[in-house]
């Protein structure tokens, strides 16, 4: 069994309030959970308007499958948000 973890820093220049940011974060986390059956949430920068840090974790049978899930999650985020991914930290345990 392998665990894939991913931290993604997302820059959203159009967000000007924490309420706007919360709507974007909740929507994206919900979509990720529904699409990939994984854990997702905001893990840092909660008080910063234009930056969100997502923590994502998945469980897979082997390293190849965990890598595939993480790659698919990254592609999904890039295609489903207008935000710019500024940093990615991934790890397979």
What are the residue ranges spanned by the domains of the chain? 2-92
Q: Residue 24 and residue 20: Cα distance in Å, rounded?
A: 7
pLDDT digit string (tens) for the chain, length 93 residues: 999 999 999 999 999 999 999 999 999 999 999 999 999 999 998 888 899 999 999 999 999 999 999 999 999 999 988 889 999 999 999
Residue with token string 């392998």: 2
Element (H or E) spanning 62, and its range? none
What CATH fold (topology level) applies to the domain 2-92? Alpha-Beta Plaits (3.30.70)
Q: Give the number of other Cβ atoms within 10 Å of residue 93's Cβ.
A: 10
Global pTM value = 0.86
**What are the beta bridge partners of residue 10?**
52, 85
Greatest pairwise CA separation for the chain in angstroms: 42
């Amino acid at each position: 069994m392998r665990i894939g973890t991913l931290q993604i820093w997302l820059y959203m220049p159009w967000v000007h309030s924490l309420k706007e940011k919360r709507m974007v974060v909740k929507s994206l986390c919900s979509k990720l959970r529904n699409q990939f059956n994984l854990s997702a949430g905001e893990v840092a920068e909660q008080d910063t308007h234009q930056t969100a840090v997502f923590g994502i974790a998945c469980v897979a049978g082997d390293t190849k499958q965990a890598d595939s899930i993480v790659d698919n999650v990254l592609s999904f985020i890039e295609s489903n948000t207008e935000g710019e991914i500024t940093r990615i930290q991934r790890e397979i345990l």
